[in-house]
């Protein structure tokens, strides 16, 4: 029994160390980024980098009518945010800020667009964003590299 507890203690100590945490945070960053990136790309005119499509404007005009911004403002804001913050998350730059921005977007979607989607979808997005806000990008991130450089 003592050897099992000793093994368990060593295993949990390793899993709590910086590398496994960094890997878990990387997966979390990629997962959250993927959700918003895919949505953001649907709002961009095909063949362009960041030209907001007419379909995106129509979505905010006719389907996302609860959003308390004009469609002319909401469509580009959503499109740019859903294309910028996922990139920052994947590389781990301004991780906490990017995760917070996506958390705000999630809550806007929850309250003004799809209020019935909390338990199926939005709670998972909130959980991922909350982890990234509280823990940062982790060891495998530009944030960590910049912090290490500042300490030198």
In-domain check, residue 10 = no
Mean pLDDT, the chain, whole residue set: 96
Q: Which distant-in-sequence residues (6+ apart) come within 8 Å of 90 by Cβ?
A: 29, 30, 33
pLDDT digits (tens, 9 = 90+) for 67-95: 999 999 999 999 999 999 999 999 999 99
Task: Please give the tally of structural domains in the chain.
Answer: 1
Q: How confident is the model at residue 3, as a pLDDT?
A: 87
- Segments forming the whole domain that contains residue 76: 21-151
In-domain check, residue 82 = yes
pLDDT tens string, the chain, 152 residues long: the values are 788 889 999 999 999 999 999 999 999 999 999 999 999 999 999 999 999 999 999 999 999 999 999 999 999 999 999 999 999 999 999 999 999 999 999 999 999 999 999 999 999 999 999 999 999 999 999 999 999 999 98
In-domain check, residue 13 = no
In-domain check, residue 5 = no
Q: DSSP per residue over 71-91, as a string? A: HHHHHHHHHHHHHHHHHHHHH
In-domain check, residue 15 = no
In-domain check, residue 92 = yes
Q: How confident is the model at residue 144, as a pLDDT?
A: 97
Q: Would the CA dihedral through 28, 33, 36, 42 be positive or negative?
A: negative
């Amino acid at each position: 029994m003592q050897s099992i507890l000793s093994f368990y203690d060593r295993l949990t100590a390793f899993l709590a160390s910086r590398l496994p945490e960094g890997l878990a945070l990387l997966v979390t960053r990629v997962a959250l980024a993927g959700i918003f990136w895919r949505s953001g790309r649907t709002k961009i005119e095909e063949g362009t980098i960041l030209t907001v499509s007419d379909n995106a404007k129509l979505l905010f005009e006719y389907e996302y009518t609860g959003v308390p911004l004009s469609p002319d403002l909401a469509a580009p804001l959503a499109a740019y945010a859903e294309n910028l913050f996922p990139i920052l998350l994947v590389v781990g730059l301004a991780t906490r800020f990017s995760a917070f921005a996506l958390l705000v977007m999630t809550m806007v979607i929850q309250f003004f667009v799809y209020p019935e989607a909390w338990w199926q979808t939005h709670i998972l997005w909130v959980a991922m964003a909350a982890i990234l806000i509280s823990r940062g990008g982790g060891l495998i991130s530009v944030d960590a590299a910049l912090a290490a450089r500042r300490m030198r």
